[in-house]
Chains A and B, each alone.
Chain A
Amino acid sequence: MLAIAGLSVAISTASTAIAALFAIPGALWIVHGRSRARALLHAVFTAGLGLPPVAVGLAVAFAFWRSGPFGAVDLLYTPGAMIIAQTIVVLPLIGTLGVVTLGGGDPTLAQQLAGLGVPRRTRLTLLAREVAPGLVAAVLAGFGRGIAEVGAAQMTGGNIEGQTRVLTTATMLSVGKGDFGEAFGYVAVLLGIMIVVAGVAMTLQRRWA
């Protein structure tokens, strides 16, 4: 149980971190950039909100299938493939919420701080502090979606005991076996993890409020 929960947290943390690494700069670009391609990325993010994890799982599984385009990497049914799939699932959510957060503040704040003689580096720090709680919420939402999804994890990980079994795929297997006690146990751990993560996020948000 501990190993399964640990793998769930590890995979979701990795995919959320990678997704945030691309989604937040992407959101920054959408809000502050000049290129017309911004609208395209925003559309991709928004459309991606509805991306079914099974569709992502299917695409990743196909890509890494032994005879598929990336079959040679031998990544299918490993945590690596699960992380790739989950990153794709989570990225649009962090990106879209990031756009809302970054675009939500007063657009003239940076200019007004400059008008008061605040140096550029401090301006950036102050602006980051303004949006930090919103970005924390966006990343938390991404983590929540990642750790809760089952379709992509099942298809790309294969639910192999001790290797790619995570809380959601383990729950499905337990229900399949009719072992509801075990299934409820997994779900309870999953909920416990989310409660802890939400607590950490709220503490961070309060510190920056």
Chain B
Amino acid sequence: MGLIEAASVNEVAAHGLAARRGTFGLNVDRFAATPGGTAVLGPNGAGKTTLLLALQGLIASRGAIARPARCAAVFARPAVLRAGALSNVATIVRAACATTAHDAERRARRVLADVGLEAFARADARTLSTGQRQRLALARALAVEPEALFLDEPFANIDADGRPALRELVAGYVAASGCALVVATSFLADAAALCERCVVLHDGSVTVRCDVAQLAGCGDPYVGALLAEARLPA
């Protein structure tokens, strides 16, 4: 994996990206994400997670990748430390940002309140529900104050009436910090709320690359299914 020469501030970019996970192969000729946000859509097994992992340098890949120094990710199934929710966030902030214990805890308290987990600060993170864990994962990702944020199905297990507030939280952070944003999602609402651009993946390759606003006319059958679902009568 080579690095493209210092990219413009807070941009994630890749050229000729190829990665393997087991028998699955990903081949993406070009990819870019800015604070405007790029949504990654596609059916299960299309390569959304593999693309995010490769962009972060968390799996071996070929091709050129540029990303800011400080990145953070929310995984689809967040793994947590054997500790309280507050301690989970504070420990990671302290390690990732090389800050004092006091500052780490202050930041952890703030983000836990932001994601609505302040009542669970002392609760063992492993006992949290899937949705609460996802909130915790978002909290710790925002707490390290990244310059690029990689979200993999970040709101999949969040209750429907909780999602808009969390989308707003992410959008607010991105707007304030100028952080580059990549969102792999199965919800058009995530793409619409957070991203200007989007790519659609099928079998490890990008088949559609367009503005989110133009998705309706892209003709991709998977996107068609997403749109049809969104239009279901109440």
Residues on A facing B (Cβ under 8 Å): 105-106, 108-109, 111-119, 122-123, 126, 129-130, 209
B79 touches A106 (CB 8 A): yes
A116 touches B91 (CB 8 A): no
Q: In whole Å, how far is A97's beta carbon from the nearest beta carbon of chain B?
A: 18
A112 touches B71 (CB 8 A): no
A108 touches B95 (CB 8 A): no
Complex CA distance for A115 and B72, rounded to whole angstroms: 6
The residues of A that contact B97 with a CB separation of less than 8 Å are 117
Q: A108-B77, A115-B75 are in contact. Are A122 and B95 (CB under 8 A)?
A: yes
B62 contacts the other chain (Cβ, under 8 Å)?
no
The residues of B that contact A113 with a CB separation of less than 8 Å are 92, 95
Complex CA distance for A117 and B58, rounded to whole angstroms: 11
Q: A112-B75, A122-B95, A126-B95 are in contact. Are A117 and B146 (CB under 8 A)?
A: yes
Closest B-chain residue to A130, C-beta based?
B82
Q: A112-B73, A126-B91 are in contact. Are A117 and B79 (CB under 8 A)?
A: no
Give the total of B residues in contact with A, Cβ under 8 Å.
24
Complex CA distance for A117 and B77, rounded to whole angstroms: 18
Q: In whole Å, how far is A80's beta carbon from the nearest beta carbon of chain B?
A: 39
A118 touches B73 (CB 8 A): no
B92 touches A108 (CB 8 A): no
B152-171 CB contact bits vs A (8 Å, 1 = yes)? Answer: 00000000000000000000
The residues of A that contact B150 with a CB separation of less than 8 Å are 115
Q: In whole Å, how far is B142's beta carbon from the nearest beta carbon of chain A?
A: 11
Closest B-chain residue to A133, C-beta based?
B82
A118 touches B92 (CB 8 A): yes
Complex CA distance for A114 and B73, rounded to whole angstroms: 9
Complex CA distance for A130 and B79, rounded to whole angstroms: 12
Find B73's partner among A116, A123, A126, A209 (CB 8 Å cutoff). Answer: A116
Find B79's partner among A108, A118, A119, A209 (CB 8 Å cutoff). Answer: A108
Q: In whole Å, how far is B195's beta carbon from the nearest beta carbon of chain A?
A: 20
Complex CA distance for A106 and B77, rounded to whole angstroms: 10
Q: Please, could you name 5 A-B residue pairs with CB atoms under 8 Å apart, sorted by A?
A: A112-B75, A112-B79, A115-B73, A116-B72, A117-B144
Q: In whole Å, how far is A203's beta carbon from the nearest beta carbon of chain B?
A: 17
B140 contacts the other chain (Cβ, under 8 Å)?
yes
Q: A122-B95, A126-B95 are in contact. Are A115 and B71 (CB under 8 A)?
A: yes
Known: A117-B72, A119-B96, A129-B81. 8 other contacts (CB 8 A): A112-B75, A115-B71, A116-B92, A116-B96, A117-B96, A118-B92, A123-B95, A126-B81
